[in-house]
Structure 1
Amino acid sequence: MLYARYSPEYTFTTRLESPQQIELRPRVSGVIESVEFTEGSVVEQDDILFRIDPRPFDAEVRRLEAELTRARAALQQAQSEAQRARRLQGRNAMSEEQAESRIFLASQRQAELASVGAALEAARLNLEFTDVRAPITGTASNAFITAGNNVQAGQSVLTRLVATDRLYAYFDVDERTWNSAFNGVDASGHTQARLQLAGNDDQSYSGRIDFIDNRISAQTGTLRVRAAFDADGRILRPGAFARISLTASEARPRVMVPDRAVGTDLKNRFVLVVNADSVLEYRRVELGDRAGALRVIESGLNPGDRIAVNGPARVGPGMPVTPRDVVIEQQGLTLLEAVQAAEPSA
Structure 2
Amino acid sequence: MGLYMGVSVINQVNTSAERVNPSKKIVLAMMAAFALVACGKGEQQTAPAAGAQAMPVTVLSVEATSVPVAAEAVAQTEGAREVEIRPRVGGILLKRLYDEGASVKEGQVLFQIDPEPYKIALDQARAQLAQAQAKIAQTQREATRLKGLLETNSISQREYDNATSEDEVAKAAVLQAQASVREAELNLSYTKVTAPVGGVTGRFQLSEGALVAANETLLTSVVQLSPIWVRFSLSDNELQQLGGPVTEKTAKQISLKLPDGSEYAESGKLNFAASQIDPTLGTQQLRATFVNADRQLLPGQFVRAKVTVGERDGVFLVPQVAVLNSQQGRFVYVVDENNQAAVRPVVTGEWVGRDWVILQGLQAGEKVVVDNLIKIRPGAPLQPHPPAEQAGQPAAGQEQSVVKANSKSA
The TM tier, using the shorter chain, reads 0.7 to 0.9
Q: Say if 2:369 is the partner of 1:312.
A: no
Task: Give yes or no for contact 2:245–2:284 (8 Å, CA) kept in 1.
Answer: no
Structure 1: gaps (5+ residues): 335-346
Cα distance between partner residues in 2 of 1:135 and 1:251: 47
Task: Give yes or no for contact 1:27–1:153 (8 Å, CA) kept in 2.
Answer: yes
TM-score, reference length from structure 1? 0.83
Which residue number corresponds to residue 157 of structure 1? 218
Superposed, which structure 2 residues align to 1:88-99 within 5 Å? Answer: 88-99=149-160
Deviation at 1:162, TM superposition (A): 1.2
- Which stretch of the first structure deviates more once superposed, 245-254 or 85-94? 245-254
Q: Secondary structure at the match of 1:19?
A: strand
Q: Say if 2:402 is the partner of 1:331.
A: no
Deviation at 1:221, TM superposition (A): 2.8
Q: 1:64 to 1:319 in 2, by over 3 A?
A: same
Q: Say if 2:134 is the partner of 1:73.
A: yes
Task: Give yes or no for contact 1:17–1:238 (8 Å, CA) kept in 2.
Answer: yes
- Which stretch of the first structure deviates more once superposed, 235-244 or 303-312? 303-312
Which of 73, 95, 101 aligns to 1:40? It is: 101
Which residue number corresponds to residue 256 of structure 1? 317
Cα distance between partner residues in 1 of 2:235 and 2:370: 38
Which of 274, 277, 282 aligns to 1:216? It is: 277
- Which stretch of the first structure deviates more once superposed, 52-61 or 285-294? 285-294
Which residue number corresponds to residue 302 of structure 2? 241
Q: Which structure dedicates a bigger proportion of its chain to helix?
A: 2
Which residue number corresponds to residue 303 of structure 1? 363
Cα distance between partner residues in 1 of 2:111 and 2:221: 13
- Which stretch of the first structure deviates more once superposed, 201-210 or 76-85? 201-210
Deviation at 1:315, TM superposition (A): 7.9
Q: Say if 2:277 is the partner of 1:203.
A: no
Cα distance between partner residues in 2 of 1:18 and 1:251: 35
Q: Secondary structure at the match of 1:18?
A: strand
Task: Give yes or no for contact 2:71–2:238 (8 Å, CA) kept in 1.
Answer: no
Whose radius of gyration is greater, 1 or 2?
Answer: 2
- Which stretch of the first structure deviates more once superposed, 143-152 or 303-312? 303-312
Matching residue's letter, 1:118: A
Q: Secondary structure at the match of 2:215?
A: coil
Deviation at 1:15, TM superposition (A): 0.9
Matching residue's letter, 1:245: K
Q: Say if 2:221 is the partner of 1:148.
A: no
Task: Give yes or no for contact 2:250–2:309 (8 Å, CA) kept in 1.
Answer: no
Matching residue's letter, 2:134: A
Q: Secondary structure at the match of 2:311?
A: coil
Matching residue's letter, 1:321: Q
Q: Secondary structure at the match of 1:157?
A: coil
Cα distance between partner residues in 1 of 2:303 and 2:129: 60
Deviations 1:11-32 (A, max 9, x none): 2012112221111111111111
Q: Which structure dedicates a bigger proportion of its chain to strand?
A: 1
Deviation at 1:257, TM superposition (A): 2.9
Which residue number corresponds to residue 46 of structure 2? none
Matching residue's letter, 2:303: A
Q: 1:242 to 1:252 in 2, by over 3 A?
A: same
* Identity of matched residues, %: 25
Q: Secondary structure at the match of 1:172?
A: strand
Task: Give yes or no for contact 1:171–1:224 (8 Å, CA) kept in 2.
Answer: yes
Deviation at 1:272, TM superposition (A): 3.8
Which of 198, 201, 205 aligns to 1:137? It is: 198
Q: Secondary structure at the match of 1:247?
A: strand
Which of 231, 234, 242 aligns to 2:292? It is: 231
Which residue number corresponds to residue 337 of structure 1? none
Task: Give yes or no for contact 2:80–2:226 (8 Å, CA) kept in 1.
Answer: no
Superposed, which structure 2 residues align to 1:60-139 within 5 Å? Answer: 60-139=121-200
- Which stretch of the first structure deviates more once superposed, 183-192 or 226-235? 183-192
Q: Say if 2:82 is the partner of 1:13.
A: no
Deviations 1:92-149 (A, max 9, x none): 2223222222222122111111111111111011111111111111111012122211
Structure 2: gaps (5+ residues): 1-61, 387-395
Cα distance between partner residues in 2 of 1:34 and 1:293: 57
- Which stretch of the first structure deviates more once superposed, 117-126 or 224-233? 224-233
TM-score, reference length from structure 2? 0.71
Deviations 1:297-324 (A, max 9, x none): 467x532674355532898442343767
Deviation at 1:165, TM superposition (A): 1.0
Which residue number corresponds to residue 30 of structure 1? 91
Which of 383, 391, 395 aligns to 1:321? It is: 383
Cα distance between partner residues in 2 of 1:285 and 1:89: 108
C-alpha RMSD over aligned residues: 3.1
Cα distance between partner residues in 1 of 2:333 and 2:355: 16
Deviation at 1:294, TM superposition (A): 4.4
Q: Say if 2:261 is the partner of 1:187.
A: no
Deviation at 1:190, TM superposition (A): 6.2
Cα distance between partner residues in 1 of 2:250 and 2:98: 36
Task: Give yes or no for contact 1:49–1:133 (8 Å, CA) kept in 2.
Answer: yes
Cα distance between partner residues in 2 of 1:272 and 1:95: 117
